[in-house]
A = this chain, B = another copy of it.
Amino acid sequence: MKLTRAKRPSSAFTTVDFDRTGRQIGHIMFPHSPNDDAWGVTRVPVAVVANGKGPTVIMEGGNHGDEYEGPIVIGELARDLDPAELQGRLILMPSNNIHAVMGAQRTSTVDGLNFNRTFPGDPLGTITQQISAYMTDHIFPMGDAFLDLHSGGSSLDFIPSAAIEPTDDPALAARNFAAARAFDAPCTVIIGNLGDPRTATATACRAGLVTVGSELGGGGRVNAAALSVARRGVRNVLAHFGVIASSKASSINADRPIYELKGTPAYVYATAEGIFEPFHELGSEVRAGQAAGLIHRVWEPSIVPEQLSYAADGIVYARRQPGRVRPGNCCLAVATPQ
């Protein structure tokens, strides 16, 4: 059952027709009136590729502007998918937080907001809030399923993985689980974001869409291995939903492991300013209490480095990229086998 939500008035308009068959690449236009452009617009790219009867699948990239595998792979689908091979509709949004994508940073360069902390948005708010409101009010109601392709961005590096969005609805939970498995990443992880309701995936779930996330590569760069996982994964998921023929997808490996980030002990936070030296590579098995790394005060060679420890058992799933840390920075995340 889908929840319905009244559409709030918005002055956004589009250059594509969501009800048309074939391929269209255009923009959602948000009137935007900053210092240097009184009557201009912010243009959020959108492609619609549709044919025949079938579900509507929404794909998002660029929710954060420094996560590149999603925008690349969704852009390739927009250019390369043959509408004739579809049964259904794809709404492809490769670069949703467009100002962040242009600036190659996590948050919008215009209003400083983390798009994934703004849902359900506000059509009379800042540009980022307007985009999330448009997703909530206009895009999600058209969809049956939602793929949200994230990567580690400039501050984290991940084991390429599919992400399962938790939900209180058991039927939806099962469908989310199955769809995440269909992505067929090297591992699949339940990521609850400590319960934050302001994300795109949480909002899609509340709207009743089958929802799949991912965490691909990171380190602020394009990870070739993660890109390959993503290219296969999106086709696998489209086949899973019946939008493309399963012959267009690869075979899925049923033995991939499943992990969970189990609450706050999953995270290792910096306790001092300095340069973080990690002790383990991604994928290493570690235990709570084990030494995780050192923070070196390189500007004061007389100071002995400070040691960090893990607080959970599992594998090293995520690792901070920039060496420089301030207290509170997430240095490592441990995923525990489910």
**Which residues of A are interface residues toward B (Cβ below 8 A)?**
9, 11, 13, 25, 29, 31-43, 45, 47, 61-62, 64, 66, 68, 71-72, 74-75, 78-79, 92, 94-95, 98, 101-102, 104-107, 114, 116-117, 124, 152-156, 194-198, 219-222, 224, 227, 264, 267, 269, 275-279, 281, 296, 298-302, 304, 318, 320-324, 327-330, 333
Contact = CB atoms under 8 A, between A and B. Distances in A.
Contacts of A29: 264, 269, 328
Contacts of A329: 36-37, 40
Q: Which 5 A-B pairs have the closest CB atoms?
A: A104-B324, A71-B298, A75-B301, A39-B330, A40-B330
A35 B105 contact: yes
A115 to B, nearest CB: 11
Given A38-B152, A79-B301, 18 more contacts: A9-B197, A11-B195, A29-B328, A34-B114, A35-B107, A35-B154, A36-B154, A38-B106, A38-B153, A38-B155, A39-B155, A41-B269, A41-B330, A45-B299, A71-B298, A75-B298, A124-B198, A221-B276
Number of copies: 6
A194 B152 contact: no
**Most chain B CB within a 10 A radius of its CB, from A222, A227, A299, A333:** A299
